[in-house]
Structure 1
Amino acid sequence: MPTPVRYRSEEEDSGRWIDFRFRPGDVVISTRSKCGTTWMQMICALLIFQTADLPAPLASLSPWLDWLTSPRERIYDQLAAQQHRRFIKTHTPLDGIPVEPGVAYIVVARHPLDMAVSLYHQGDNIDRERLRRLTGRPEAVEAPRPRPDLRTWLTRWIESASDPRTALDSLPGVMWHLTGAWQRRAEPNVLLVHYDDLQTDLPGQMRSIAARLGITVPEERWPELVRAATFGAMRERAADLVPDAGGVLKDPRAFFRRGRSGSGAACLSAAELARYHERTAELAPADLLAWLHRLAR
């Protein structure tokens, strides 16, 4: 097995996966930020517990292993104590995680422009000082610069030439993550899910995910589970579902902002959208892009 790539930022460190002890049946949810991570965690929780009345907050049931707001050993101990089938959150690409035969890996893909718009708005909802203290970073020497308007920010994001291994939420980082998963999509324990498919056919997608995970759900349970996984239902339960154990979010409900597709492309002119497609063609294979962009051309 090749040595996993080490991904590190001010807030995350994929090195935490190196010494982690997997169990057969574990589920790893690997996504980019704002691409449906919490949605997939909720779907897995509903399938595993087969009730909308979850036994604990979602972040406790499905810890974010490589987030530096909690000590590594605390997360290890929390997961070791769990008796249910474990489902673990990460924003680390698959080449940064040990891939073992008895473990399932789910990667959720979202149109990158929609992901970027959500990421932009999420930035206003984060208590940066609280996050700095939790991750042990020193105080900033200079005051942060005001952010540009959304359209300006988005066009700059499209042009970013950042190293995808250090700027994972850049456009190169998003395409790096998805390309790695796309290359492994035929492996029996790797499942690629499109955000737009969750939007257009949530019942069918949940049934497909259950089948891939080997989970049998009694037919009479499905309506309740599907209702609990809808965007509106999750937004109503934001306090129990958002990844905010350290109090980093200013408003938990704002974490579930809109969840719609197409908002990114709507921000851009025809020329700017064409430039986006030029950039993605430089960063990812054509068959992946055809699958990724099929509902938002």
Structure 2
Amino acid sequence: MKLASGHEVTPLEGEELARQERDWTGYTEGMVRLHPGSWVFPAPFTDYADRIYNFEVKPSDVMVVTWPKCGTTWVQEVVWTMRNNPNLDHPQAALPVNARVPFLEFDMLMRSKKLTPPGPDHPIMQGFNKLCPGKNPADGIFVQIGEATPAPRTLKSHLPLSLLPPALVNVGKVVYVARNPKDVVVSFCHHSRIFKNHNYVGSFEDFVKYFIDGDLVYGPYWQHVKEAWEKKDNPNVHFLFYEDLKENNIEELKRLDDFLGTKLTQEQLNNVARHTSFPQMKARDSVLGGGDMEAVFNMEIVNKDGGFFRKGEVGDWKGKYTPELEAKMDDWIKTRLSDLGIGFKYTL
């Protein structure tokens, strides 16, 4: 099978599939790998890939793009607030951030048999029916919500740039967020354990191996970052580091303000900084918005180790790796990332 992006799709089979099915019990519809790039996805991605690739980009579009757990939710809230709510008075600000910023490929993760499909009274379906009357949800609830969202749209994706619309970096704008890989691994492992549609049941040691081998969903981290880093000088691409946004929040918000052309005052920038701080976002629960947590989360792990908003710290990886695992990560970083010339910050 070949996608509109030119990628060839190969189903995972044999021992490789068996390992995924053993450790990731939330991926219930099979797994595929895409070449070039060796991207790994749940098989339902192929049902939406061409629609996403052919998504019509508008000049006012801003898409937040990251590999998972690189500050996506934080930055999508920052961007939406800067563009729509700098005075903190927008009537839709209380909605979950994913209701305001469509997550284009989310349907592939909703197809897990570990989740109950949303019924007609579910907020997701109510939003879909309002924005997309007469449309078929089977064609992709979230990509169609993205298509129907009025301009100016703020959108979100974890897909690499090579699987996103080619016009994105020439017609719209991209805010790409990168985070140091040691913290990414720790955060994504926790995320994968608490969400039922991932339902990772393997060890942390095995998770590190999945990451190093490029076998996690969304594929090789280094390749994802590389595709964006190569476009960092494009005037429509803003490459942002999670650690810089934590360490120099107002300064980074000013740079983002310049890129977005939002022309915020200092008071408005202070509003954005306060409203999107980790404690305030955690208090608002801006992902689920008070939804049915037990339907989505493994509550035993949430109650023991924390939920979606856990710590949000730089350097949380310390003490999580054995010396052997840390050495493997250091070797991988040297092999895969040193050529890019990126000086990731591992502590502040």
TM-score bracket, normalised by the shorter chain, equals 0.7 to 0.9
CA contact (8 A) 1:27 1:103 kept: yes
Find the aligned partners of 1:96 and 1:35 in 2 and give their Cα distance.
19
Stretch deviating more after TM superposition (97-106 or 176-185)? 97-106
The CA RMSD measured in Å over matched residues stands at: 3.0
Aligned to 1:200: 247
Q: Does residue 1:9 correspond to 2:41, yes or no? A: yes
Q: Which amino acid in 2 is paired with 1:219?
A: Q
Q: Does residue 1:117 correspond to 2:149, yes or no? A: no
Change (3 A) 1:194 1:227: same
Find the aligned partners of 2:340 and 2:208 in 1 and give their Cα distance.
24
Find the aligned partners of 2:276 and 2:296 in 1 and give their Cα distance.
24
Q: Does residue 1:52 correspond to 2:88, yes or no? A: yes
Q: How does 1:171-186 map to 2 (within 5 A)?
A: 173-186=220-233
In structure 2, runs of 5+ residues without a counterpart are 8-33, 111-136
Aligned to 1:274: 327
Shift, 1:269, TM fit:
4.4
Stretch deviating more after TM superposition (201-210 or 247-256)? 247-256
CA contact (8 A) 1:16 1:66 kept: no
Q: Does residue 1:189 correspond to 2:236, yes or no? A: yes
Q: Which amino acid in 1 is paired with 2:190?
A: H
CA contact (8 A) 2:64 2:157 kept: yes
Aligned to 1:65: 104
Q: Which amino acid in 2 is paired with 1:267?
A: K
Aligned to 1:126: 195
Q: How does 1:213-228 map to 2 (within 5 A)?
A: 213-228=260-275
Change (3 A) 1:109 1:245: farther
Shift, 1:127, TM fit:
2.3
Q: Does residue 1:248 correspond to 2:296, yes or no? A: yes
CA contact (8 A) 2:70 2:178 kept: yes
TM-score using structure 1 length:
0.79
Shift, 1:23, TM fit:
1.0
Change (3 A) 1:31 1:271: same
SS at match of 1:114: helix
Aligned to 1:86: 153
Q: Does residue 1:147 correspond to 2:202, yes or no? A: yes
Find the aligned partners of 2:337 and 2:314 in 1 and give their Cα distance.
21
CA contact (8 A) 2:102 2:142 kept: yes
Find the aligned partners of 2:145 and 2:218 in 1 and give their Cα distance.
27
Shift, 1:76, TM fit:
4.3
Find the aligned partners of 1:231 and 1:108 in 2 and give their Cα distance.
16
Aligned to 1:18: 53
Find the aligned partners of 1:78 and 1:200 in 2 and give their Cα distance.
34
Q: Does residue 1:259 correspond to 2:312, yes or no? A: yes
Find the aligned partners of 1:74 and 1:113 in 2 and give their Cα distance.
33
Shift, 1:97, TM fit:
1.3
Q: Which amino acid in 1 is paired with 2:271?
A: E
Find the aligned partners of 1:75 and 1:126 in 2 and give their Cα distance.
19
Q: Deviations over 1:66-125 (max 9, x none)?
A: 122364453344234333411111110111112322211111111111111111112232
Aligned to 2:16: none
Q: How does 1:102-113 map to 2 (within 5 A)?
A: 102-113=171-182
Find the aligned partners of 1:222 and 1:105 in 2 and give their Cα distance.
20
Query: Identity rate of aligned residues, in percent?
Result: 21
CA contact (8 A) 1:185 1:192 kept: yes
CA contact (8 A) 2:174 2:238 kept: yes
Find the aligned partners of 1:71 and 1:19 in 2 and give their Cα distance.
17
SS at match of 2:175: strand
Find the aligned partners of 2:244 and 2:273 in 1 and give their Cα distance.
14
Find the aligned partners of 2:87 and 2:287 in 1 and give their Cα distance.
15
